[in-house]
Amino acid sequence: AILLDHTEIYYTGGNIIDYNLYVANVLVVFFFLSGYLFHKDSGFSLRSKLISIGRGILMPYFIFTCTLAVPKALAHGSNIANTFLTVLTGEASWFIAALAVAETAFALLLWISRGKWCILLPMATLSFAGCVWLSTCYFPLYWQLDNACMALPILYLGYVYHRHEQAFNALHSPFSTSFLLLCVVAMKIYEYENNINLLINPIAVSNWYVFVIDMTFATLFLVHLAKYFNSIGWMEWIGCRSIVFYFLSGGIPLLVSVGLQKANMSYSGEYYQVMTAYLLVCLFTAFLTWLIYRFVPFITGREMQQ
């Protein structure tokens, strides 16, 4: 979904499919799934989780952003030193920086609270309130503190869902899935007709009540929908490597767009052209991701496989 969004932006100069229709939703779902993975039947280990965050999020963040700093600066005509500074301040990849901060904070909260809702729920609520307040501030927020405050309660909801998944499964049915889909469609129509903005980077949500309702319905619908499918190999392959896909989601669409323009295949108003560019973006991104995991997996926190 993020590859499609970035393909449209780089290839056509803007979003053709409205950002509010899906982009914020898929980012929120990623946070939700990250929280889902916090719960383990074997119990929670703060040490293991912090090591996982360090190896699987922070180390790839610094390696990828530093590697891409010079090409990124040259492509955008920016100062190279300033580009490296954005790496240190967490601005080089806002989503990954926010994820790292939110997961670290939530891991500490789980350890302190021992998983008790009477501590986690108030802290998650306070974090969301902090996000709403920080979104109105205009001073620098290093390491995406505002987005991290937004992500933490979503992590908590994913954790709660997994912890009580058996109870949620009892509510899963074709009727409930259809109902959630109708709610999502109704929310999108309402947002479109009332020009409601759900932008979350930078945070510019124009109606937080609508944002919460929309994200809740859309996330639950996608979770319900996923439960109808058996194992899907290619989707699981992408999911396990999603952090690398995300790091490449800016550079590859940009390069593909430039290549198509030089080949006299610039966008001329037909959406099939976007789909062609998107297919190329997916193929190149998948191939480069495979190369990274096959030959230099240590930069993603994994060990070399024999």
Cis peptide, bond prior to residue 71, ω within 30 of zero: no
Model pLDDT for residues 45-76, shown as the tens digit of each residue: 999 999 999 999 999 999 999 988 888 777 77
Nearest to 127 by CA among 155, 169, 92, 95: 155
Average pLDDT, the chain: 93
pLDDT of residue 139: 79
> Which stretches in the chain have pLDDT values below 50?
306
Model pLDDT for residues 266-300, shown as the tens digit of each residue: 999 999 999 999 999 999 999 999 999 999 998 99
pLDDT of residue 77: 75
pLDDT of residue 306: 46
Q: What is the C-alpha separation between 29 and 215, in angstroms, rounded?
A: 8
Contact by Cβ (8 Å): 95, 57: no
pLDDT of residue 83: 85
pLDDT of residue 301: 82
pLDDT of residue 26: 96
Model pLDDT for residues 224-235, shown as the tens digit of each residue: 999 998 888 999
Q: What is the C-alpha separation between 91 and 85, in angstroms, rounded?
A: 8
Token pair for residue 159?
């954790």
